[in-house]
Amino acid sequence: MPVQICPAPPPLFRRIGLAIGYWEPMALTDVTRSPGCMVNLGFSLPAFGKTAQGTAKKDEKQVNGAFCHVHWYKYPLTYWLNIITSLGCLEGGDLDIAYLSEIDPTWTDSSLTTILNPEAVIFANPIAQGACAADAIASAFNMPLDVLFWCAGSQGSMYPFNGQVSNESSPLQSSLLVSERMAFKLHRQGMIMETIGKNNAVCNEYPSPILPKERWRYQMVNMYPDSGQCHPFGRSVTRWETGKNPPNTKKNFGYLMWRKPLLMMLNGAVMASENVNTPENRQFLKQQENLSRQLREKPDHQLKAWAEKQVLENPLQRSDNHFLDELVRKQQASQDGKPRQGALYFVSFSIPEEGLKRMLGETRHYGIPATLRGMVNNDLKTTAEAVLSLVKDGATDGVQIDPTLFSQYGIRSVPALVVFCSQGYDIIRGNLRVGQALEKVAATGDCRQVAHDLLAGKGDSGK
């Protein structure tokens, strides 16, 4: 559900915000066979010498293999450009070297690697590895399958978490495989946190020992930048490797890693950035910092008593409590399992405001998510203001922005209703009332039972 509630320091205690998901560049990786070669920085660290130097080999069985080192850099570009402000889990900081595989003994020794991935023995069999064909096909045409977490699509197997690559088909394939393994390894070690989930999980980061492959992409930046496209984890390199692996290179590569988090744009955050750094705001932030320090210094029982006192002295109005409780109830109801059938209603902010509000009111009546292709004028601030305005006016509880759904169902004009089920899906195009569109599907569509349930008020809708 787009509208979320997050905890806040006293005296607010609870704060309403808008949950948004977007692709952000968050890391750079070097993949090198020369220890200490900082590919993306353009120099080498001489201290490593030839320690654990990478290789490429072909044995008597004509099976290619390789060993590569990986360096992981923090690269919070969104934070540096100040594109988005006041997000609950927005990662900040400077460019920093977060991990060097040269100093990690588990990166060169498969026996030691078992400490980090003991479950690898379960998937070291032909049946488990054969299932990775499905992951390779899924990543080739859409996104990888999170359920097959031990697979790296066309690249091979995620296990073990080290630089050893067997059955190398190309140096680019090996470089991507070890980059994906490093992302999984850092998730397992708690160095990369997850920012998507249920309830308060969108308010705070939390550990995730399993890599969510569907929310990761990569883009080649060294030695031959490929700025025109990103690729999901596991996708075959045969689509784009031509000209990027000449025989006279040292097989060192650099990649920009993209991640799709689900973060909170807190209420009141949609303001011009030049109005944020005011004396009043700086004083307020200083007060909040002092208050947080005081809270950390209090023992738990004192903190509980103090918080209860603050709640009693600063009660919320009954209407506010009712509004928040209703939001929580709807949120919990919408998260009782992911539906396998339902409906989607595709709209755009280009539709006149009066008509858009009518459509959103109808979708809310039937419990159908309203879906947008993208942001207003490609601007997040303007989009957030428009959505919050609709929520405030009571036209909708929120909308979702997902261009992949437009592509999935071939939606080229709006409004359009899609009803989907195990048999397939039905599309009703044109400016019909939502009820009339559902009636058409209920009469002749493949998913007529879903449409009947939605008309009767007992349907399940979702992505």
Encode pLDDT of 412-457 as tens digits: 888 999 999 988 899 999 888 899 999 999 999 999 999 998 988 7
Selection from 92, 84, 81 nearest residue 21 by Cα: 84
Question: What percent helix, strand, coil does the chain show, rounded to 5?
Answer: 40, 20, 40
Compute the distance between CA of residue 226 and CA of residue 255 in angstroms, rounded to an integer: 10
pLDDT at 57 exceeding the cut of 60: no
Per-residue confidence (pLDDT) for residue 268, from 0 to 100? 45
Average pLDDT along the chain: 79
DSSP string covering 33-53: SSTTEETTTTEE-GGGTTTT-
Beta strands 3-7 and 14-21 are antiparallel
pLDDT for position 386: 78
β-pairing, 262-266 vs 14-21, is: antiparallel
**Residue 320 vs residue 243, higher pLDDT:** 243
How high is the pLDDT of residue 55? 54
Domains annotated on the chain, with CATH? 22-265 (no CATH), 277-321 (no CATH), 342-455 (3.40.30.10)
Say what the pLDDT of residue 206 is: 79
What is the per-residue pLDDT across 85-115, written as a single tens digit (0 to 9) for each? 655 556 777 788 899 998 888 998 888 998 9
Closest CA to 260 of 235, 232, 226, 220: 232
pTM (2 d.p.) = 0.56
Residue-wise pLDDT for 1-12, tens only, equals 466 667 666 665
Full DSSP string of 365-388: HHT--EEESS-GGG-HHHHHHHHH
Q: Which of 15-29, 38-52, 223-237 has the highest mean pLDDT?
A: 223-237
pLDDT given at position 74 = 92
Phi/psi region, residue 262 (left: phi>0; alpha: psi -120 to 50; beta: rest), is beta
Contact in structure between 135 and 155 (CB atoms under 8 Å): no
Is residue 70 within 8 Å of residue 31, measured between CB atoms?
Answer: yes
Instruction: Write out the two tokens for 54.
Output: 């990478």
User: Rounded to an integer, what distance in angstroms lies between the CA atom of residue 53 and that of residue 160?
Assistant: 19
β pairing state of 400-401 and 24-32: unpaired
Q: What DSSP line would sit under 327-365, residue for residue?
A: HHHHHHHHTSS--SSEEEEE--TTS-HHHHHHHHHHHHH
Where does 41-197 have alpha helices with state H? 77-81, 110-113, 126-130, 132-141, 171-188
Quick: pLDDT tens for 321-364. 676 677 666 656 655 554 578 899 999 888 888 888 888 888 88
Q: 380-406: per-residue pLDDT in tens?
A: 667 777 777 777 666 666 677 788 888
User: Containing H/E element for 416?
Assistant: strand 416-421
Judged on CB neighbours under 10 Å (0-12, 13-18, 19+), 26 is buried
What number is the average pLDDT over the span 232-259?
Answer: 87
Task: Assess whether pLDDT exceeds 90 at residue 70.
Answer: yes
* Listed range (8-12, 295-299, 400-404, 459-463) with the worst mean pLDDT: 459-463
- pLDDT for residue 186: 94
In this predicted structure, the answer to whether residue 71 has a pLDDT above a threshold of 90 is: yes
Cα separation, 215 vs 338, in Å, equals 18
The share of the chain scoring above pLDDT 70, in percent, equals 69
Residue 273 confidence (pLDDT): 38
Contact 343, 416 (CB under 8 A): no
Across the strands, what pairs with 372?
A: 401
Q: What is the pLDDT of residue 81?
A: 77
Most confident of 214-218, 331-335, 370-374: 214-218
Six-digit token string for 285: 């932030």
Contact by Cβ (8 Å): 15, 8: yes
